[in-house]
Amino acid sequence: MKHQQNTVLPDEMEEAAPGIFYTRRPLVAVGSEAIDCLKQSARSNDKKRARLCAHPSPESAQHDMLIVSHRDTYVAPHRHLKKTESFLVLEGRALILLFDDKGQLQNSFEMCPFGSQDPFFYRMPVGQFHSLKVISELLVFVESTKGPFQKHDSQDAAWAPAADELGKGRAYIDGLIDEA
């Protein structure tokens, strides 16, 4: 039996938007070459993050994404109105931030890969405002949620800088951490 290359290679990753990649492979198996490509993209694009969508399109019923976020990214506090979200750390460290409806920081906890004393997996409940701060240079993680993607299924926090305000957003998150 001839051994076939089963992992997604960088030249098979099609960029649908800056930092958002899809592959035409029906079986998405990922190795270090694809992760290295995502790391390079996260280091160089304006949002400072990149993802390989294992699902074939935004309309898919299940969304599984391999994501790399740089420490300079900003994930605006948001909540999912109808869906849960699962998060599994493969590499790096991040601080998860949980907020009440008025923007008060309720809780925070560090996440690291399996084998540390910190959590490596979470399942975020519906309606919980959350964000994260990447502590290491890069954070590599898997995120899963139900599809299809529809912007109105999520709500950005009115009390925090918008997702496209990277500088203000990073300063906001850093200020919260300094106060805690």
Neighbours of 127 (CB within 10 A): 13
Residue 4 in domain: no
Residue 151 has pLDDT above 90, yes or no: no
Domain that holds residue 157: 10-179
By CB neighbour count within 10 A (0-12 exposed, 13-18 middle, 19+ buried), where does 139 fall?
Answer: buried
Any idea which of 34-38, 162-166, 176-180 has the lowest mean pLDDT?
176-180
Rg (CA), the chain: 16
Say what the pTM is: 0.94
Residue 139 in domain: yes
* CATH number of the structural domain spanning residue 166: 2.60.120.10
The distance from CA 42 to its chain's CA centroid, rounded to whole angstroms, is 11
* pLDDT tens by residue, 105-149: 999 999 999 999 999 999 999 999 999 999 999 999 999 999 988
Q: pLDDT category, 4, cuts 50, 70, 90?
A: low
Residue 3 in domain: no
Residue 1 has pLDDT above 60, yes or no: no
The distance from CA 162 to its chain's CA centroid, rounded to whole angstroms, is 16
Residue 3 has pLDDT above 80, yes or no: no
Q: Which among 132, 34, 46 has a CA at the least distance from the CA of 89?
A: 132
Task: Please give the tally of structural domains in the chain.
Answer: 1
